[in-house]
Structure 1
């Protein structure tokens, strides 16, 4: 039986890696991506590519009608957590309404399993390490949207019997990451700043802590999850266990890029100060191989980044609220 999988966001960072792993498993893969954050060069030539939005309901149902998808891997999102406070409508349209469009189509077309990449942003400030049994308390619109999609999937399973798997990754880095986006992906931001001979910008004192996860520690498991019966209708934290402060990360990135450390401190922004997760549940079900340590992962990404060069960050054009918007995110005045 031919297995056909839809990967939304398949031209993006995590999505493109998931596509590669699905192709290795002999899936026919259809990629749907609007290229707002992804790049055509990331897409494996063996996949079928459609440029379009998950807000385009007609396109979605056309694809479902034509390909009769066995599985849906939903990775399309605008994942600028800090910026989401100031682009609330855009955030909910792209990260919630678009997801619901896909869930509706998946129920109607009897998809066997809907795999969703959520985020540990759903937890907000919570007891550390974050664990799946905790009650989510998202503190920004991005996390709220992700949690709403999780709840909708649970409801769709209860109402219509559609199976799902939810992953909550965090702070993922590696090859194919869009380093030209000043609003998200701190490792990419730092490496791009070094390529442009700029200081590394840190919001506040740099004591915020995160666990940074190499792409190869999550993408294969997301792709393979539909073959793991114990994973169905379950939520998993997925990622690294080793915690670093943002300032420690800046030093590690500078070392990987063979650059002297220069830091520029910016005003503190509204964000969860400490966020890292427990992965015991994931480890029990998936029995992953040993994680790639930060030094090794950064060296690999640095090699890729140097080969591809720096990228200019585009200003987000439709800021909806300017009150409390960090000054570094404000559009520069025209000369």
Structure 2
């Protein structure tokens, strides 16, 4: 049994990481400010003495705080996840995603943890050549991407300077149950699922032929666990299915009418992870097919009943200032 901290553990990927760890008899501490995370995501562990939920912001937790004491491992998922809205809030994104990560690194360093695994973002590659491997050029297109990349740089710097044992995983397009339901216009699944519940057309950006490397969340957390348990340190791993799907195919699986809306600048036509490194070094591979994953989501579609409903007009209004500097 290990003592594990999951930052952002009431969020989408973080809560699934908690499930995975609890199922393996670990003692888990979760720190989450519950702004985007939800207690309902951990409700299944309500009476489990091996789970502690600490409702705080990672930026407010000092290095000698009790939450870091006698820890073995840290999975760092906490952060702001919306990509394009970061254009309007760059300072907030830098504060949470970069400074917050530095604060977690300091907590890890001063308490001699065995491994910290950082949830980085494939958005650091920008408009990359595909398939994209870990040595591809960094070309951040949005403040979100920059803030996450600077967080990644901080984690690796703490490894280099202080000997903090870390690994970094650059997530491509994670999807699954408990994904985002509220806030700014953003992630495609949250938008589409609420539209389906409301019998409204799916608002597909562009012609729908753009591809995304979707990976189901249970496959994501298995990869993080392997990155934590490996003897390898200071490594960067791309994480996706390695098999990108078109948005048109996604809406075909979701079943419903489609409304095509204008394209957005700064977004790649294709995201496609070269997963050779993680497959070979961590003996990991995706288990859940895209069709199976979408089916699982549809079986749990009521989770998105309180999500905001977006249509062509409300999207246009919400995003009208986002792209002025990218045109």
Q: Shared topology, TM-score over 0.5?
A: yes
CA-to-partner distance for each residue in 1:136-168, whole Å, 9 max, x for gaps?
121111111111112112211111110101111
Residue matched to 1:239: 240
**Match for residue 69 of structure 1 among 68, 71, 78:** 71
If the length of structure 1 is used for normalisation, what is the TM-score? 0.86
| Uncovered stretches (5+) of structure 2, i.e. residues with no partner | 322-327
1:237–1:277 contact (8 Å) kept in structure 2: yes
Matches within 5 A, 1:1-335: 3-43=2-42, 44-45=45-46, 46=48, 47-58=51-62, 61-64=64-67, 67-230=69-232, 232-254=233-255, 260-266=256-262, 268-306=264-302, 308=303, 310-313=305-308, 326-329=316-319
| d(CA) in 2 for partners of 1:280, 1:267 | 31
Q: Distance in 2 between the 1:268 and 1:204 partners? A: 8
Distance 1:314 1:297, change over 3 A: closer
- Once the two structures are superposed, residues 51-75 of structure 1 have per-residue CA deviations (whole angstroms, 9 ceiling, x without a partner) of 11112134x642345x322111100
Compared CA separation, residues 95 and 309, structure 1 to 2 (3 A):
closer
SS of equivalent to 2:178: coil
Checking the alignment, whether the CA contact within 8 Å between 2:101 and 2:154 is kept in structure 1 is no
Shift of 1:96: 0.8
Moved more, 265-274 or 149-158: 265-274
Cα contact 1:181–1:189 (8 A) shared by 2 = no
CA distance in 1 between counterparts of 2:14 and 2:73 reads 14
Distance 1:61 1:207, change over 3 A: farther
* Conserved? CA contact 1:179–1:191, under 8 Å: no
